Copies of this chain bind each other. A is one copy, B any other.
Amino acid sequence: MNDVKELDPTVVLGTGLLGASVGAALTRAGVTVHLSDAVLSHARVAETLGAGTTAKPDPAAVRLVVVATPPRSLAAVIGEALDRYPNAAVTDVGSVKGRVLRQLQATGRDLSRYLGSHPMAGSQHSGPVSASPDLFCDRTWAVTPHREVTEATADRVRALIRLCGARYVAFTPQEHDSAVAQVSHLPQLVSVLMADHLLGIPSSHLALAGQGLRDVTRIAGSDPGLWEQIIAGNVDALRPELEAVRAHLDEMIAALDDPTHRVRPILQRGVNGTRQIPGKHGAPAMDYGHLVIEIPDTPGALAQLFRDIADAGVNIEDIDIQHDLVRQVGYLEVAVEPGHVREVSEAMTAAGWKLT
């Protein structure tokens, strides 16, 4: 069975940014999507933008329900969807998984048709007007199986993820919540911590703010109503992360008593930490290849070297001048994608440069 038939028709409950984007992606693929929202005008906006129809489906025919309502309402809406659409697989796109599953289990329902999920996509804008069928392209879409889920249910959620162009990855609900506490909810709170601190700073001082401060505090400007619900749903995973940060902050404050010896190792750990983050779209962290080219001490040598590198036609990722203080000779270090090291080396050697 192909993915479109597998999911036709689908119901999307909640037509904010995520729901409307799911609707738009499935509609584009050829699936009939029925949209519903507690706020009628939201569903109408999503319909206008091509995310589906606000016409009602035949409940018995529905094959998939995607619940994209605010975090606080998820368990109730998922439960009602299981009751109302007796032949549908039901998933949700909430950012915390464990609590919702426990709430559903507490109702005593058969959960063989429920499989929670969480697409790692969003935007600083919310609401259907920012929706796009490409929102999930190449993004990771986490799925959190539990022991009651049937293979038929999992098949439909996998079809959804494929039609949205995303990449499937499975976690237990607990593992998922621990992971998002670490890589999403904790950075959110750290950003808030820095932004909150700005309220006590004179505006004349803030005139010296640069891009660094803007980057660190950008996500602190996100919707507090949504984030309050996310954090409330993941308190248990978040607390130990915040406590670990406090321990490191204590270490940092203590290090100021001996900055010459104790600050550098902390800064270096920060650099190493940034290297743990995979590349965008889930590519592994790029480990660039490096070439080191000697710069002869003759006029115009460096300008010629830049020209020859440009002629090699390879994308230069980084460039750095190094030096040998004894020999008073310079070196140019060039970083390229790992697969291109040999190519650039050969081109440079052919052009008469000495590689070290």
Q: Give A contacts to B, CB under 8 Å.
A: 39-42, 44-45, 48, 120-122, 125-129, 140, 142, 169, 171, 175-176, 178-180, 182-184, 186-210, 212-222, 224-225, 227-228, 231-232, 235, 238-239, 241-246, 248-250, 252-253, 256, 259-260, 263-264, 266-278, 280, 282, 295, 297, 300, 302-303, 318-321, 323, 325, 328-330
Bound-state Cα–Cα, A41 to B278, Å = 35
Residue among B129, B183, B199, B280 making CB contact with A206, cutoff 8 Å = B183
CB neighbours (8 Å) of A189 from chain B are 252
A235 and B256 in contact (CB under 8 A), knowing A48-B300, A241-B197, A276-B199? yes
Identify 5 residue pairs between A and B in the complex whose beta-carbon atoms are under 8 Å apart, listed by A's number.
A186-B194, A193-B270, A201-B276, A217-B274, A220-B273
Q: List, in ascending order, chain B residues with CB within 8 A of A300's CB.
A: 48
Given the interface pairs A235-B259, A239-B253, A321-B41, the reply to whether A219 lies near B216 with Cβ below 8 Å is yes
Contact B221 A278 (CB under 8 A): no
- Tell me which residues across on chain B come within 8 A of A186, comparing CB atoms: 194, 197
Stoichiometry, as copies per complex, reads 2
Q: Which residues of B contact A213 (CB under 8 A)?
A: 183-184, 187, 277
Chain B residues with Cβ under 8 A from A187's Cβ? Answer: 194, 212-213, 216-217
- Evaluate contact between A203 and B242: CB separation under 8 angstroms: no
CA A279 – CA B221 in complex, angstroms? 14
Q: Which residue of B lies closest to A302 (CB)?
A: B48
7 new A-B contacts at CB < 8 Å, known A41-B295, A239-B253, A242-B256:
A44-B297, A184-B209, A191-B215, A191-B216, A195-B270, A195-B273, A203-B276
Contact, CB under 8 Å: A44 / B302: yes
A249, B193: Cβ atoms closer than 8 Å: yes
Contacts A232-B259, A259-B231 given; indicate if A270 touches B183 (C-beta within 8 A): no
Say how far A167's CB is from chain B's closest CB, in angstroms: 9
Question: Across the interface, do B259 and A250 meet the contact criterion of CB distance under 8 Å?
Answer: no
Contacts of A231 in B (CB 8 A): 256, 259, 263, 267
- A303 contacts which chain B residues (CB < 8 A)? 48
Task: List, in ascending order, chain B residues with CB within 8 A of A325's CB.
Answer: 39
- For A321, the chain B residues whose CB sits under 8 A away are 41-42, 45, 127-129
